[in-house]
Amino acid sequence: MFDHIAANVKDFRRTKSYDLVTATPLIAWYLIGLGRQFPLTWMRATELVRGRIGLLDFLQLVALIGSFVLIFLLIYLLLARRTPERRIHGALPRIIAVSGTFLGNAFLYLDPVRLPLALQVVADLLIIAGAVGSLIAASWLGRSFALLPEARRLVTGGPYAFVRHPLYAAEMIGITGLMLQFKQPWAVILGVAVFVLQYWRTIFEEHVLQEVYPSYAAYRARTWRFLPYIL
């Protein structure tokens, strides 16, 4: 009886229904984030329509709109993504992936700081660049998008032709912009922690991809992890 139940559970884990169940908490988290950002986005959009928006507030609005578009894209990809060919085993890879995804939200609990105009512009541009880069990388990743280390399909086109993890690289660009805007040294410590977790996360992801796709070793040899000629 127990063997029959275990077999049914194993079969269910291979279905699209199970994949949707596992995606539900992340989708809910994204929707909560949208709800928290909406009042500020509406206020800045209203200021723009009325012609009363300054440079910094305009840059903030652009970043917020980019965040909205990215979140809607990620929700769509979570719903439409293909079922994985293989999932990684063990609790540690899952803990690292979840921590790397959600730890960046801790910036919201730090005290913001007032920056000189030039530095504030730099911070806003980094956040915008991170959002745009994430949109591009996620679009190329398409239905292979995943939170946990899984093999859904090997993507080697677009930005993935040059670096193996452009989505994480773009996220770290945005995180750098956030680090500038909050109280130190806590913002830097948090940003470094996120980077370490994302780097660790790529190790698990590359392990499962190399197990499933024989061509991954050659792809890995000709590409960089995050930034060409740097890292």
How confident is the model over 136-147, as pLDDT tens digits? 999 999 889 988
Residue 21's pLDDT band (cuts 50, 70, 90): confident
Please give the average per-residue pLDDT across 80-101, as a whole number.
89
Neighbour-count burial of 196, counting CB atoms closer than 10 A to its CB (0-12 exposed, 13-18 middle, 19+ buried): middle
Dist CA 138 CA 174 (whole Å) = 15
Dist CA 43 CA 41 (whole Å) = 5
pLDDT at 162: 94
Instruction: Evaluate whether the domain defined by 2-222 bears CATH number 3.50.50.60.
Output: no
